[in-house]
Structure 1
Amino acid sequence: MSAATKTASTEAALTMSGAEVVLRALKDNGVEVIFGYPGGAVLPIYDAIFQQNAIRHILVRHEQAAVHAAEGYARSTGKVGCVLVTSGPGATNAVTGLVDALLDSIPIVCLTGQVPTHLIGNDAFQEADTTGITRPATKHNYLVKKSEDLARVVHEAFYVAKSGRPGPVVIDLPKDILINKAPYSEAPKTEHRSYRPQTQPDGEQIRKAIALLKGAKKPIVYAGGGVINAGPEASRLLTDFVHMTGFPCTNTLMGLGAFSSDDKQFVGMLGMHGTYEANLAMHGCDVMLNIGARFDDRVTGRLNAFSPGSKKIHADIDPSSINKNVPVDVPIVGDAGRVLAALIEAWKADGQAQDKPALTAWWRQIDEWRGIDCLRYRQEGKIIKPQHAVKRLYEITRELGRETFISTEVGQHQMWAAQYFGFQKPNRWMTSGGLGTMGYGLPAAMGVQIAHPDALCIDIAGEASILMNIQEMGTLAQYRLPVKVFILNNEYMGMVRQWQELLHGGRYSESYSAALPDFVKLAESFHAKGIRVTDPADLDAGIREMIAYPGPVIADIAVAKDENCFPMIPSGAAHNEMILGPEQEGGVAGVTDEGKVLV
């Protein structure tokens, strides 16, 4: 290239503003939708958005909701979600969503506005130390101070967000960087110079794992959100491996759908509100294979009593998660899909025979625990049981055969949704697992609906949680998004009330909602349809009406006020110290060292 050509090329590159560079980089990284809210510091980007048609912008009503919507979009598609907020309160309002995405490993790139570089540190209007505030809230963050770094930083942010263990990345953008001319460069084709997550598992560790698994008498496969994040192929490989081995399989809350709830080898969800058979199988197993889960405290219960005496294999793409909470015998660092592919290949190549009689006996024991029927409830009388409401919602959506995505808020309704709504495929379940963020479900469903415009998107909510981000009903109206909000209304912060009943002597301190809105009128005020159901005989008709309506709906389902969510492992208890529900004789259950059920 001649000197004159090079000069002309440089001048052409400098004809773009920083804002235009940002949008071009987003487009080149596959961004089709941005969830955002404008403000002074990011107006240059909004001006550039106005002058292009490649990227769609969704105007939310609150910055926290923008991040949750991007999470729903990302979780349901496997793509990176994109968020745009202004400086100061715009950025700080987004922090809850960023921490939520960090704990649940959701890939997000969040662009935040910042005051001009010469004003940083001067307490300028709407200035906040965004990189300082978000450092513990993100996988990584950037403050761009030079125009020539802008394109590289945006490309790198997407690479970091989606590589290794996914997570949120913040790019803080001073206003002068967005206004000034900036050069554009393509995303690098070579590997990043310093961040190269290990995705391929070590062969020797795979062989050690197979040796343990082949010799297991009471094995269990424990799959988490890492299998979902690894893509649909990882879920298929998980199914192949479980079928090949004949092992029981349990999923975490974030892993639901990684292994089909319909499969006879599925023993249900694990953890605090998991099934009796899943928790006792985890407690009694002799070899555990953990794929893509992080031994969260809501899964393990009391650590010194967690799965005593078992050999533990832990496969995770994040090496810092291994041996963090639970010491393991065989650590495997790698992508869940690649680990499963390697395990399948090694299982087939290994000549060691399984102990089939022991496995048969283990299934006999698991079936005895299944016989307790820990999710049994009785729907009778004129009051709707929340379990029944969720179960009928599941049965009717399945009967209709539409592609269905479920999001939830946080609380009892979230656990009932996990227990009674079956998931046969990955990426259909959006919930806040690690942070437990009330207000997550409505904006998450909004993001899912943007990604899947023809799908049925339902937010299973509580009357307390839904009010946290109820303003997003306005976003549904503006963009004609037919999201359905299915409220299990018991007039309490249900999980708080349950803990107060069981653990705090029935002292219901500030958990009753004494001034709830009329949700039908509230829906109508947001240009949506409102439905209220109080009688079990009207429940099916109400669900069908909600689904059939072509626009957004709030269905207010009046449910039993004092219903508790069981089974339950009390905080600080072990897996064999579960509390069962009133439908299970005695109400408290356990298991002896010999595997005998205690009820």
Structure 2
Amino acid sequence: MKINGAQIIIECLVEQGVDTVFGYPGGQALNIYDALYKNSDRINHILTAHEQGASHAADGYARATGKVGVCIATSGPGATNLVTGIATAYMDSIPMVAITGQVPNSLIGKDSFQEVDIAGITMCITKHNYIVKEIKDLAKTLREAFYIAQSGRPGPVLVDIPKDVTAALYDYQYEVPKSILPVTETIHEKNLQIAVDLIKNAERPFIYSGGGIIASGAQKELLQFAEKISAPVATALMGLGGFPETHPLSTGMIGMHGSVASNKGVTECDLLIAIGARFSDRVVSDVNKFAPHATILQIDVDPAEVGKNVPALASIIGDAREILNKLIPLVPKQENKEWLEKIQSWRDKFKYTYQSGDTLRPQFIMNNIYDQTQGEAIITTEVGQHQMWAAQFYKYTKPRTFISSGGLGTMGYGTGASIGAQIARPDERVVHIAGDGSFRMNCNELCTIAHYNVPVIIVIMNNTTLGMVRQWQTSFYDKRYSQTDLDRGPDFILLAKAYGVKAYDVTTQDEFVNAFEEAWTNREPVVINCHIDKDEKVLPMVAPGAAIDNIILD
């Protein structure tokens, strides 16, 4: 039967198992929104305060579930407002489909009202993008978009659809979505055997685990593999939750603000096994001094990552879960007793710690959140010092429980992401950790949280400054605090109340404990504004460009 293009979009979304989309309407997306109105019983639409919030919410939805997140916007500024969210998803390999309205075909290229070449703009921050100029190509393109977003190394795909295409009529027939199969054709026996030989001969093996473990669902296999070869496991920021941090082999996060055990472990190991990790500059720092004694074995689904930042002697290309399942029966059981004792000595001597006392400190806040939630919350973050405290002082034991912008470092990301994560997993609880600087950027999404009664607990680490930038200015710019003081509004308590969200203003440990306990119990949207000192530091720290074991502890 013939239906219009807007209805074809709805049918394709339902085909793909989409139950929720995030967006904001506009002139060139009106046909799509009319179809959403008529199909509100089939697809839940969340109206955000801003298109950027919609893109971050779709991203958070995807990170919390592993499914494709979907956002919709109109042409021109609506589409360009998605760009930061699309780039955020691209840098962290998050499956997303962004659907944008476009001016009619007859007006394209004429500088028409609200016309931009969004496909051209997003070319370098999408896995693929499309302009659908004919109705006959619409369903096929949408199906391809979802397949590309999920297959191989995940990523965002943009589909730009002119308004006349959404109005045109065409035959539609249901199709079963194409199966997403793990990449296995590139896993060669020769490379597996090389890896086995390297592991057999290693006396100090060390595993560096990234977001690829979570993307492939390989957390159980990683645990089994690490236990069999007795290798400590350090995680990248995007890998948090991929290996249980309560396990004796876990050394925690690696990199600029990683643990001493992780950074020293990678420096002294003789075999570094990197799995689903891209050797970011925030992990590697001085590439010439990174893992200086180690042979590097790199396991990744994307061949372009192998040797890109750090030379790898050996590699296996393919899905991490499939590769580990092939390696586990091939590698011998190992003990590495002396190596593990050395790792443990670093863990014991250099724990993440702080001087507590009675002062309300960010480290105490994260420890108390962990205690009160018993490690069962989904933690979302903005970007900055609070992000690192959330990474350091909350123990992640399950995948998809730490949701944060890693590669792009997007301030303003977390509030939208917390909405997406909470809607995606309604039976779980989301705690959003924000800095006052980041929270200002997209605090308008409080109206979304309030309207849909999304029971997110927002904890603001309010130090009245851009904390991470100030920390760098203190350490490397002789305390020249250029434009980092945020000694201005808004009053976050009044702001929250203006949107109809309950809020607490806390200055002491007891006040925080009581406020969080009440928020956790009542299951409703809450803002907790925590006043902390503006000179709090994130430690340990490696200075940019220094060797990764050149660690500032105090």
* Residue 579 (1) aligns with residue 536 (2): no
* Residue 124 (1) aligns with residue 108 (2): no
- Give the greater-gyration-radius structure (CA): 1
Counterpart contact for 2:100–2:160, Cα < 8 Å: yes
Give 2:158's match in structure 1, choosing from 170, 194, 210: 170
Aligned residue in 2 for 1:595: none
CA distance in 2, matches of 1:275, 1:337: 26
CA distance in 2, matches of 1:184, 1:135: 29
Give 1:368's match in structure 2, choosing from 341, 345, 348: 345
Give runs of aligned pairs for residues 377-526 of structure 1, distance below 5 A.
Answer: 377-381=354-358, 383-398=359-374, 403-526=376-499
> Aligned-pair distance for 1:550?
3.0
- Further displaced range: 370-379 or 34-43: 370-379
- Helix, strand or coil: the match of 1:165? coil
Inter-CA distance 537–566: structure 2 relative to 1 (3 Å threshold): same
CA distance in 2, matches of 1:302, 1:132: 35
* Residue 273 (1) aligns with residue 250 (2): no
Give 1:91's match in structure 2, choosing from 63, 79, 92: 79
* Residue 16 (1) aligns with residue 3 (2): yes
Counterpart contact for 2:300–2:306, Cα < 8 Å: yes
Aligned residue in 2 for 1:238: 222
> Aligned-pair distance for 1:210?
1.1
Inter-CA distance 199–23: structure 2 relative to 1 (3 Å threshold): farther
CA distance in 2, matches of 1:118, 1:109: 25
Identity of aligned residues (%): 44
Amino acid at match of 1:395: D
Amino acid at match of 2:494: K
Amino acid at match of 2:31: P
CA distance in 2, matches of 1:538, 1:410: 25
Amino acid at match of 1:281: G
The ranges of structure 1 where at least 4 consecutive aligned residues each deviate by more than 3 angstroms after the TM superposition are 185-192, 195-200
What's the TM-score, normalizing by structure 1? 0.90
Cα displacement string for residues 296-343 of structure 1 (whole angstroms, at most 9, x for unaligned residues): 110111111111131001011111111111110111110111111111
Counterpart contact for 2:143–2:177, Cα < 8 Å: no
> Aligned-pair distance for 1:198?
5.0
Give 2:92's match in structure 1, choosing from 104, 108, 116: 104
Give 1:138's match in structure 2, choosing from 126, 133, 139: 126
CA distance in 1, matches of 2:471, 2:63: 30
- Further displaced range: 453-462 or 114-123: 453-462
Amino acid at match of 1:215: N
Amino acid at match of 1:479: Y
Counterpart contact for 2:15–2:177, Cα < 8 Å: no
* Residue 297 (1) aligns with residue 308 (2): no
- Helix, strand or coil: the match of 1:368? helix
Aligned residue in 1 for 2:205: 219
* Residue 37 (1) aligns with residue 21 (2): no
After superposition, the CA RMSD in angstroms is 1.6
CA distance in 1, matches of 2:197, 2:172: 52
Aligned residue in 2 for 1:596: none
What's the TM-score, normalizing by structure 2? 0.97
Aligned residue in 2 for 1:588: none
Aligned residue in 2 for 1:566: 539
Aligned residue in 1 for 2:171: 183
Counterpart contact for 1:164–1:198, Cα < 8 Å: no
> Aligned-pair distance for 1:141?
0.1
Structure 2, unaligned runs of 5 or more: none
- Further displaced range: 533-542 or 563-572: 533-542
* Residue 527 (1) aligns with residue 494 (2): no
Inter-CA distance 489–17: structure 2 relative to 1 (3 Å threshold): same
> Aligned-pair distance for 1:536?
2.1
CA distance in 2, matches of 1:524, 1:125: 38
CA distance in 1, matches of 2:377, 2:90: 26
Amino acid at match of 1:388: F
Amino acid at match of 2:457: K
CA distance in 2, matches of 1:162, 1:199: 17
* Residue 156 (1) aligns with residue 133 (2): no
Counterpart contact for 1:86–1:113, Cα < 8 Å: yes
Cα displacement string for residues 49-71 of structure 1 (whole angstroms, at most 9, x for unaligned residues): 11112111000111111111011
Counterpart contact for 2:184–2:322, Cα < 8 Å: no
Cα displacement string for residues 100-156 of structure 1 (whole angstroms, at most 9, x for unaligned residues): 000000000000010001110000000001110010111100000111100000000
- Helix, strand or coil: the match of 2:237? coil
- Helix, strand or coil: the match of 1:182? strand
- Helix, strand or coil: the match of 1:418? helix
CA distance in 1, matches of 2:183, 2:373: 40
- Further displaced range: 417-426 or 339-348: 339-348
> Aligned-pair distance for 1:541?
1.0
Inter-CA distance 199–296: structure 2 relative to 1 (3 Å threshold): farther
Aligned residue in 1 for 2:36: 49
Give runs of aligned pairs for residues 313-332 of structure 1, distance below 5 A.
Answer: 313-332=297-316
Amino acid at match of 1:369: W
Aligned residue in 1 for 2:62: 74
- Helix, strand or coil: the match of 2:387? helix
How many residues end up aligned between the 2 structures?
553
Structure 1, unaligned runs of 5 or more: 1-11, 582-599
- Helix, strand or coil: the match of 1:254? helix
Give runs of aligned pairs for residues 527-566 of structure 1, distance below 5 A.
Answer: 527-566=500-539
Amino acid at match of 1:409: E
Amino acid at match of 2:84: T
CA distance in 2, matches of 1:138, 1:514: 38
- Helix, strand or coil: the match of 1:345? coil
